[in-house]
Amino acid sequence: MSEPLAFAMPTSPAGDGGVSRLTERALQGLLRERGWRAATAALCTELTLALGCRRVALGWRVDGRVRVVGLSHGAQLAEHPVLGGVAEAMQEAMGQGLTLCVPRVADGAVRITLAQRALIKREGVAAVLTVPLAQDGEVLGALLCERDDGRFTPIDIIAMEDVARTVAPLLRLLHEGELSWRQRWQRSWREWVAADDPRTRRLRQAGLGIAGLMLVALMAVPLPHRVQANARVEGAEQRGLTAPLDAYLRQLHVRPGDFIKKGQVLAQLSDEDLRQQARSREAEVAQHDNAFVDAFTKGERSQAAQAQARAAEARAQLALVEQQLARTRITAPFDGVVIAGDLSQRLGAPLKRSDLLFTVSPMTGWRVVLEVDERQITWVQTGQVARLLLTALPSQPVELKVQRITPVARTVDGRQRYEVVADPVGQPPAGWRPGLQGVARIELPPEPLGWRWGREAWQAWRWASWSWF
């Protein structure tokens, strides 16, 4: 087997001039383009033209593997099925950390060139030269040159080694400039793990010790466990006031948020038609009374009885109309607050019987409704303690006690939530009123954080596996 060159040889002044010119052209090609891909392609093209090669390829170590990242003349990487052999030849040179040239220039040293010779046989080229790219003792990649006729001379080899030493730092800077934050973090982590200096070893040992202590704490130390839910304050009793008949809304005296007194008029419906009916019924009553008196005076008892019956019927109809007139005034059934029913935009609009006009609530009793996510509802039990913090009263947390869990869910913001009813423990602070909203935390039995995360992860996996498979 023939051996490749060891390359520890002096150069002539002419050779020095050749080396400097090749390096200058390589730098011009590398710095002429912007971006990693364009710069590597330009570098390979300049080297191909300067050395008279068939093709020049640039390989780079990515995630522990050598990948061809640049080809001369702007060739597309995906269109070259032979790149696997090129990468193997580059890996052979990078693994040995030496420049490999086939056919060799005799120097008495033995080098492994199996992948280089396999590439020559596969591609039918006359010579292959592979030069590793290294910086500070770290092999970053390799340059591989293929020539159709003739061999690579010692001057060519020394020139390529000078190019490799010069462009390796620049290529590294270009490559690192296009890495994402995740790739940079992964590379830094691998470098830190692979480092073997005493200071790094001590840091690794300390980090492993801290991680072990944290794991033990997560699995063994019970921590408070809470279920968080949106909450709203409601009156213990709420009453809806509806339209008693078909009519028009004539006057409005209150709006949501207003405090009301028992018997206070909240709204007035139109009553012109009812008043006209009342006057008509009054006239009928007077007419039948006169007929009764006239018949009774004449001694016509049958006619008197008929007139008396008709008068009674007219009085009943008059009483019904007067009752309907009284119901056109919507009054407060108790002292409290209006929590719903803004009719200011419906003045003069027609209302149908049983249309909801107002929702009122007394100021004597309270309850809090918690909206618990369906994934956490199984953890909530009656009798558990909760703490509520209202948006309007952030400095006055209130203790609650769960009283009832409703069995029906409703959709809130695209998620299913169950309503949990809780009552305040003791007297609520001043300023409470129906409609206030806040956040409540239901206290659950303490448990280690690791067990909690593990249970939630297991439930998520069970749900996903059941849904997907």
398-434: per-residue pLDDT in tens?
A: 999 999 998 888 888 888 899 999 999 888 877 787 7
pLDDT of residue 4 exceeding 60, the answer is no
Torsion, CA 215, CA 219, CA 223, CA 224, rounded to 10? 120
Query: 133 vs 98, 194, 401, CA distance in Å?
Result: 10, 21, 71
- 313 residue type, one letter: E
Q: What is the pLDDT of residue 304?
A: 80
Q: What is the pLDDT of residue 370?
A: 93
Short-list 70, 140, 131, 59, CA closest to 102: 131
Q: What is the pLDDT of residue 107?
A: 61
Q: How far apart are CA 304 and CA 311, in angstroms?
A: 11
pLDDT of residue 30 exceeding 90, the answer is no
Q: What is the pLDDT of residue 410?
A: 86
Which residues are paired to 359 by β-bridges? 240, 340
Q: What is the pLDDT of residue 108?
A: 57
Q: Over range 91-108, report the average pLDDT.
A: 84
Q: What is the pLDDT of residue 14?
A: 32
Mean pLDDT of the chain, nearest integer: 84
In which region does residue 125 sit, left (phi positive, over 0), alpha (psi from -120 to 50) or beta (all else)?
A: beta
Q: Over range 303-318, report the average pLDDT.
A: 84
| Helix, strand, coil percentages for the chain (3-state, nearest 5) | 45, 30, 30
Q: What is the pLDDT of residue 28?
A: 86
Q: What is the pLDDT of residue 230?
A: 92
Specify the higher pLDDT residue, 187 or 382. Answer: 382
Q: Over range 184-206, report the average pLDDT.
A: 76
pLDDT of residue 21 exceeding 80, the answer is yes
Lowest-pLDDT range of 160-174, 178-192, 363-377: 178-192
Q: What is the pLDDT of residue 3?
A: 40
pLDDT of residue 65 exceeding 90, the answer is no
- Dihedral pair phi/psi, residue 366, rounded to 5°: -135, 155
pLDDT of residue 130 exceeding 60, the answer is yes
Tokens of 247: 């009519």
pLDDT of residue 212 exceeding 50, the answer is yes
Residue 284 pLDDT grade (very low, low, confident, very high; cuts 50, 70, 90): confident
Residue 229 and residue 332 in contact, taking contact as beta carbons nearer than 8 Å:
no
Percent of the chain residues topping a pLDDT of 70:
93
pLDDT of residue 92 exceeding 90, the answer is yes
Q: What is the pLDDT of residue 1?
A: 36
pLDDT of residue 228 exceeding 70, the answer is yes
Q: How far apart are CA 107 and CA 282, in angstroms?
A: 135
Residue 60 pLDDT grade (very low, low, confident, very high; cuts 50, 70, 90): very high
Q: What is the pLDDT of residue 19?
A: 53
- Dihedral pair phi/psi, residue 114, rounded to 5°: -65, -45
Q: How far apart are CA 332 and CA 151, in angstroms?
A: 107
Residue 104 pLDDT grade (very low, low, confident, very high; cuts 50, 70, 90): confident
Short-list 161, 130, 174, 162, CA closest to 39: 174
Q: List b or e across 46-70, with b for residues whose CB sees 16 or more CB atoms inside 10 angstroms.
A: bbbebbebbbbbbbbbeeeebebbb
Q: What is the pLDDT of residue 82?
A: 65
Helical H segments across 221-330, by residue range: 272-298, 301-327
Other C-beta atoms lying within 10 Å of the C-beta of residue 241: 18
CA atoms within 13 A on the CB side of 281: 17
Q: Over range 55-74, report the average pLDDT.
A: 87
pLDDT of residue 336 exceeding 70, the answer is yes
Q: What is the pLDDT of residue 129?
A: 94
CA atoms within 13 A on the CB side of 366: 24
